[in-house]
Amino acid sequence: MVAHQISQRIVLCGAGFLGRNIVTAISKNNHAQSLLRRVQISSRHPERVHASLKHIIPYEYLLPPVKVDVTKPETLTAAFEGADVVVSLVGILNGSPEQFDEIQWRGTENVAKAAKQSNAKVIHISAIGANKASSIPYEKTKALGEEAIFAHCPDATIIRPSLIFGPGDEFFNRFATLSYFLPILPVFGNGETRFQPVYVGDVAQLVEILTRKDSKIRDRVAGKIIEAGGPEVFTFRQIMELVLKYTGRTRPIVPVPWPAAKFQAMVLERLPHNVFTISQSQVEQLKHDNVESSQPSADRLPFAQFMEEHSHPLTSVHDVLPRYLK
C-alpha cells in the first residue's frame, strides 16, 4: 500500500459532464500516487455534481463545494486560497456576444488572475477552433481566454478538445434522441465537415496526469497547448451513420443547405431551449473542421503520444458508443 505523503488541493472551476469525469479520474488514480489529491468543485451551482459524486468517491478525496461566479473576482480569490492546481472549465455553448465576452474571455481572465494570486498551476480547457480573428463569438472568446491565461500564468497548460463523447454527452445523445423522434437525420451543407471525437475519459485522464506533483511532467507541459482529438476522424455524415448504427435505427440522412440551416437556427434560437435548439453561430461553427492541426508547432504537445507514454492508447468511439446510445 502506497502511503500518501503530500496533500494537494485542486480546485475544479466548473461542474458538469467533463468535471464529473475529471474528479472520478483523479480519485481512481490517487491510490497509485504517493500523494493525496483533494478536489474542490467550484461553480455557480456546484451542489448537484458534488452530491452525485460524494456517494462513489472516498470522502477524503472530495472537499466541500464552493459557489463562485467567474464574473465576480472576489468569489474566486476566496475559493482559490491555498490551491495547488486550478482546473478551469469556464465556458458556455449558448449566449449573446456580450455573454461570451463576459464569461469565456473576461471570466477566464479573472480565473487566471486569482490563480496567479494563489500561486496555483492552471490547466485550462479551451476548444479546437479557438481563433481570435473569428467572427463567431464562441471561437473568438475561447482564443481571447487562452491569451488571458498565458498573459497572467505563462506556465499554464491549455487543452483544446475536439467533440467530447461519452455517457452523458450532449452531441451524440442529442442526435440519438432526434433519431427516435424524427423520420430523418439532418446534416448541414454536404455533411463533409470533419470531427475528431475524443472520449471524455481520455480528456479526464489527461487532466489527472497533469495534476500529478511530477516535476518532469509539469516542466514538459508548462506553457504548452494540447489539441485533444481521438484516434479517428469522421465527417458529419459518418457521425450520423454511427448514431444510427449504435441505436439500431434506420433513417435517411438528409442534407440541409447552409442558408436553410441558418434560417432554421434563427427561429429555433428564439424558442425555449430543447433538443432541437441550435443557434446561428453554431451553424457557422459547423462549417469548420474540428480536428487537430496538421501543422507542427513548438508550443503544442502531441496528445496521442503523451497519453501512450503516461497512461494508455486513445479510446475509439466504437468501444464506447454501444454502451450508452439507444
Which of 180, 193, 173, 185 shows the shortest CA–CA distance to 282?
A: 193
Q: What is the CA radius of gyration of the chain?
A: 20
Backbone angles phi, psi at 112, to 5 degrees: -60, -45
According to the model, what pLDDT value does residue 275 have? Answer: 83
| Structure confidence at residue 6 as a pLDDT band (50, 70, 90) | low
pLDDT at 15: 80
User: What pLDDT is attached to residue 324?
Assistant: 96
Is the model's pLDDT at 54 over the cut of 90? no
Q: Which CATH class is domain 7-164+197-230+291-314?
A: alpha beta
Provide the greatest CA pair distance for the chain. 62
Q: Say whether 39 sits in a helix, a strand or coil.
A: strand
pLDDT, tens digit, for every residue of 118-143?
999 999 999 999 999 999 999 999 99
DSSP string, 257-271: -HHHHHHHHHHHTTS
**pLDDT exceeds 50 at position 3:** no
pLDDT of amino acid 2: 46
pLDDT in tens, 269-302: 888 888 888 999 999 999 999 999 988 788 999 9
* 253 neighbors 240 (Cβ within 8 angstroms): yes
How would residue 322 be classed by pLDDT, with cut points 50, 70 and 90? Answer: very high
Burial class (CB in 10 A: 0-12, 13-18, 19+), 101: middle
Q: CA–CA separation, 165 vs 204, rounded Å?
A: 12
pLDDT for 34 equals: 67
* Contact status, residue 29 vs residue 86, Cβ threshold 8 Å: no
CA distances from 185 to 16, 177, 250, 271, 290 (A): 27, 10, 10, 21, 20
Domain residue spans in the chain?
7-164+197-230+291-314
Give the mean model confidence (pLDDT) for residues 42-66.
91
- Give how far Cα 129 sits from Cα of 8, 17, 205, 316, Å: 33, 20, 22, 22
Q: What is the pTM of this model?
A: 0.95
What is the pLDDT confidence band of residue 1, given thresholds at 50, 70 and 90?
A: very low
Grid cell locating 132: 481570435
Average pLDDT rounded to a whole number, residues 29-35: 74
Percentage with pLDDT > 70 across the chain = 97
pLDDT (0 to 100) of residue 120: 97
At 174-213, the pLDDT tens digits run 999 999 999 999 999 999 999 999 999 999 999 999 999 8
The pLDDT of 227-242, averaged and rounded, is 98
59-75 pLDDT, tens digit per residue, is 889 999 999 999 999 99
Q: What are phi and psi of 217, to 5 degrees?
A: -65, -45
What would the mean pLDDT of 307-314 be, rounded to a whole number? 97
